[in-house]
Amino acid sequence: MRRLNLVLMKLLFPLAFLGFTANAHAVTASSCSKTDVQSAINNASRGDTVNVPAGTCTWSSAVSITKGLTLSGAGVGITVIMNGAGDGTVLQISPDSTAISNEETIEVTGFTIDGNGTGYGLIGIYGAPDNGTKPFKNLIIVGNRIQNTGSTSGNGNTCIYNFNGQTRGVISGNIFDRCDIVYRPMGSDDTTEWSNTAYNNFTYGSADNLYFENNTILYSTAYNSDDNYGGWIESGQGGRTVVRFNTWDMANITNSAELWDIHGFQNFYGSSNGQTGTMVVEYYGNKVIHESASNYRWIDHRGSWGLFFNNTYSGGSSPDIEVNQYNGGCTNQIVPTPSNYNPIVNNSYFFNNTVNGTLKSAIAGSSNSCGVVENSNWWNQNTGFNGTSGVGYGLLSGRPSTCSVGVGYWATDQGSWNSSGSGGQGVFYKCTATNTWTLYYTPYTYPHPLTNGAPVNPPSNLNAVVQ
């Protein structure tokens, strides 16, 4: 008996470090109907897995998850949820205060979610409130197919929408098919959130973001976007995100005007007419292929901090990468006046982004206020880099010994953060004082640890007997 007890202890001991107890178990919904799935979620305990069986079901209103658990379908194309809520949400993720405080994990996997031609946020997320003490940290949306939002003029139909609040985690390994707007990482849209030190940690390369990685965006049949949104990602209103190693296959789509919009503070004079901006973004290692919709703009950086590098675009147009700083978003215009954050475009870098194989630099757009200028607020790759302006790119041995404050250098032969076997490595050095290079940025571990070591379902019905 003692030997058996030791074996059980060895099984149970590592589970404790994964946030599980021996009582965690699986609950299976009677069917994929909205009523049965919601009932199973309600009856599940925190940390449980709710399994949804095969079938095709229409949900006329949203299923809601408020506690840490895994909602697992039988597989893409096997468990299919059709939107019957019109412009509403099919699945709402809104962690309660306990889930946020205890850093519980909410995971969604193994579904096809079909908008049935409409949907304003097929998966809707509500993170931690603007005055919270920590964000909702462990969201995992992995291995799903999310599709067919349709395009309704003026509506902004969206596949995954963080409607409100601060959320961290990862959205990975999903297929987005015929989504008008693919992904919207927003926040609470107020200065309480921006001034909250639990949220305004301005650092590149940390886990303190919502990651969107290794997804495929495609249009399997002909698709027309009424508002030119097709394939779009829009961040803003206090959102922060890292978008990396995704593929946009833009064959079959028309009327796609812009792909990545990093919204900034706009007309924020303390009234309800404006909106707050994006805190931090990183876009790298992404591919846009088969673009035939004649985009006029690839990237519109209007937010605060932004890193954009090693992205490729191929197609029939040569869209711009722009930096735009709104009037009405300057530090002295915002009400109340910012005291512990910088709302304007700053500390932003663009390097090794190519269009049809040719290096594409960022340009100043038509909205350029608040004194935002190149080589002061933002920097482009400089192919003749000598340390005085712009960004250098190459082996560490090629970095100049002297430098001007603010310039950067991407060393392609450094780092070990990418364990995927493709996409390369690299780290970013910044000149933090005259002739002083500092290792400033190493991308966060890829693949994201929540996808590599996502909580696994523990064995159930184990009982440890102490003699």
Short-list 362, 213, 216, CA closest to 282: 213
Cis check for the bond before 447: say yes or no (omega within 30 of 0). Answer: yes
Q: What is the pLDDT of residue 270?
A: 62
Domain 2-384 has CATH 2.160.20: yes
Q: What is the pLDDT of residue 254?
A: 84
pLDDT tens by residue, 170-213:
999 999 999 999 999 999 999 999 999 999 999 999 999 999 99
121 or 11, greater pLDDT: 121
Task: Report the pLDDT averaged over residues 60-69.
Answer: 98
Contact assessment for residue 364 and residue 374, using Cβ atoms and an 8 Å cutoff? yes
**188/125 Cα distance (integer angstroms):** 12
Instruction: Return the DSSP state at 460.
Output: S
CA distances from 139 to 130, 189, 284, 343, 356 (A): 18, 21, 21, 27, 35
Q: What is the pLDDT of residue 458?
A: 35
**167/420 Cα distance (integer angstroms):** 25
pLDDT range class, residue 335, cuts 50, 70, 90: confident
Burial of 138 (0-12, 13-18, 19+ CB in 10 A): buried
135 or 274, greater pLDDT: 135
Q: Which of 11-20, 84-93, 349-358, 405-414 has the lowest mean pLDDT?
A: 11-20
Task: Report the pLDDT averaged over residues 273-293.
Answer: 92
Please provide the average confidence, as pLDDT, over all residues in the chain. Answer: 90
Task: Report the pLDDT averaged over residues 230-249.
Answer: 97
Contact assessment for residue 120 and residue 87, using Cβ atoms and an 8 Å cutoff? yes
pLDDT range class, residue 368, cuts 50, 70, 90: confident
Q: Which residues contact 357 (CB under 8 A, 6 or more apart)?
A: 314
E strand spans, 1-155: 26-28, 49-51, 55-59, 63-65, 69-72, 79-83, 91-93, 105-109, 112-114, 120-126, 136-142, 145-147
Length of the chain: 467
Q: What is the pLDDT of residue 168?
A: 98
* Amino acid, single-letter form, for residue 210: L
Short-list 372, 398, 371, CA closest to 387: 398
Contact assessment for residue 343 and residue 332, using Cβ atoms and an 8 Å cutoff? no
Checking if the pLDDT of 76 tops 60, the result is yes
pLDDT range class, residue 459, cuts 50, 70, 90: very low
317 or 130, greater pLDDT: 130
Q: What is the pLDDT of residue 452?
A: 76
3-state secondary structure (DSSP) of residue 101? helix
84: its two tokens: 């019957």
- pTM, two decimal places: 0.92
Contact assessment for residue 328 and residue 343, using Cβ atoms and an 8 Å cutoff? no
pLDDT range class, residue 275, cuts 50, 70, 90: very high
